[in-house]
Amino acid sequence: MRALLLLLASAACVADSLAPEQFARYVPLQTQSSAALYQATLSADVYRHAIAADLSDLRVFNAAGESVPYSLEQVLPTPVPQAEVSLPFFAESRQAEASASVAVSVRAGTDGTLVSVQPGKPVPLAGAQTVLVDASRLKRPLAALSLDWAEPRFQGALQVDASDDLSQWQQVASGELLRLSLAGQKLEQRRLPLGELSARYLRLRWQGSAPTLTAVRVTPSVPPPAPTRAWLAAQPLQSNEAGIYRFALANVVPADRLRIVLPQANTVANVTLEARMQSSGPWHAVARARLYRLHQASGETRSGDLIVPARVFREWRIRVDGGAVAIGQGQPGLSLGWVPQRLTWLARGQPPFVLAYGQRGLTGAAQPAASLRINGSRPAPATLGVPRDGTLQVAPLIERELLRRGVLWAVLLAGVGVLGWMAWRLGRRGDGM
């Protein structure tokens, strides 16, 4: 037992003292300026040669060959700031409906735009408790509402309702708006968040005193640009089952997009995609889709990429409803797309820094991203250079997980054997006495 523990401890020490050349690949990290933190986006080559599914076999080294702290982060979409858009608004006086001389009605035109119909004196905006806002011409969701008024000092509670037909209303926001000043200091709150609201009309209802509105503006919500994805084609495998097409992927790719190309034009087929991590493991259903590839006068039209949860699988298969007849002769193609992670590392020691990847038997060393950013420090940009070949990583005869389970079972059986031997000895001693 002691020898086994010493062997495992020595293996861990060896893993920590590895050099970049002992990994399958290593690549120089190129920096442009002096900084405490650097950040670079992982290349497709990292995923192509990494061994661990969670990228735990990555290490960052400085010029002295010392491993430095690093973290891995998912690339999140960056929202695009949008300018505010002014909207038309109308005062609504429900209390004055009995008097035609001052009543104002608001109705929707043929294109959905609000039209103010004034049979008599218009309702003044000053002190209007209810205001209708026309957002019908804005075809994008609304992220926020901003108001302005004539009074230099005002404070009041506002409720915002939304509707698409001017008859059914639903509350979507509420809050306190104000503009105060004292001794030359100003305090303003004129904005209410709306989330991702899709509505043609808004209704502003003041709970108490109301200001004289001079402007109603909204901030349109625009989806952030799609992150850049890397793509990798899966390797087809031989399959003896009709209508089932298998693929293998030796890489650790957290795919969240799947692109399937049917072998022949003018084909429509319903398919089921399944995947698994190991060749001996169970299959997991990933997606169900209707694929098409049609040749038209304007060109060829193909079904879009499939959106799936980002997970790592090494084997994939496509099950076609109706068998091979549904797609004709040939092998469909499968490509996997993913968003590469960002590597952030602490610039401890002297450059140049090197990223090494592809080494069996390593445990994860990545730290939480927040632990490297002290006082809100921002990492300087960096890039990955040209990768170089390191040491060829030979697959073990016994998988690591199977070896670990075997060792645990051996230790357990050895412990049971020792307890049985002790019980037998005690039994013989009792018989002798």
CATH code (residue 144): 2.60.120.260
Q: Which of 199, 220, 241 is the last residue of a domain?
A: 220
Write down the pLDDT at residue 107.
Answer: 55
Per the CB < 8 A criterion, the answer to whether 184 and 234 are in contact is: no
Within a domain: residue 51?
yes
138 and 234 inside one domain: no
The sign of the torsion formed by the CA atoms of 295, 296, 297, 301 equals negative
Q: Count of H helices and E strands in the chain?
A: 4, 30
Q: Is residue 427 part of a domain?
A: yes
Residues 133, 64: one domain? no
Q: What are the tokens at 219?
A: 């901030």
Please identify, among 220, 244, 260, the residue that sits at the C-terminal boundary of a domain: 220
Quick one: 311 exposed, middle or buried, by C-beta within 10 A (0-12, 13-18, 19+)?
middle
Angle (CA) 79 83 86, round 5° = 135
Q: What is the structure's pLDDT at 110? A: 54
CB atoms within 10 A of CB 429: 9
Cβ proximity of 325 and 242 under 8 Å = no
Q: What is the pLDDT of residue 392?
A: 74
Do 44 and 66 have their domain in common? Answer: yes
* Domain match, 200 and 293 both: no
- The pLDDT value recorded for residue 429 is 67
Two structure tokens written together for 251? 């890489």
With the CA atoms of 171, 175, 179 and 182 taken in that order, what torsion angle do they form, in degrees rounded to the nearest 10?
170
Handedness of CA 358, 231, 74, 70 (dihedral sign): positive
Task: Please indicate, yes or no, whether residues 98 and 198 belong to a single structural domain of this protein.
Answer: yes
**pLDDT of 66:** 92
CB 334 within 8 Å of CB 318: yes
Residue 132 in domain: yes
Same domain? 99 vs 207: yes
Q: CA torsion, points 327, 328, 333, 336, in degrees to nearest 10?
A: 10
Q: Where are the beta strands (DSSP E) in 16-81?
A: 25-31, 37-41, 58-61, 70-73
User: Which residue in the block uniquely carries the two structure tokens 């030359």?
Assistant: 184
How many Cα atoms within 13 Å fall on the side-chain side of residue 165?
A: 2
Domain that holds residue 114: 85-220
Could you tell me if 310 and 424 lie in one domain? no
Domain-located, residue 225: no
249 in a structural domain: yes
Residues 198 and 257 both lie in one domain: no
- Statement to judge: residues 381 and 265 lie in one domain: no
Distance, CA of 418 to CA of 421 (rounded, Å): 5
Closest among 229, 226, 227, 232 to 50, alpha carbons compared: 232
For residue 357, what are the CA distances in angstroms to 118, 163, 177, 350, 380?
A: 74, 55, 55, 20, 22
The model carries a pTM of 0.62
Asked if omega into 396 is within 30° of 0 (cis), the reply is no
Q: Is 340 exposed, middle or buried (0-12, 13-18, 19+ CB in 10 A)?
A: buried
In the listed set 304, 338, 372, which residue is the last one of a domain according to the structure?
A: 338
Residues 67 and 192 in one domain: no
First-to-last alpha carbon distance for the chain, in angstroms, is: 33
Residues 92 and 197 in one domain: yes
| Residue at 402 is within a domain | yes
pLDDT less than 70: residues of the chain: 1-16, 78-79, 81, 93-127, 393-405, 428-433
425, burial (CB in 10 Å: exposed 0-12, middle 13-18, buried 19+): exposed
Instruction: Give the total number of structural domains in the chain.
Output: 4
Same domain, 216 and 322: no
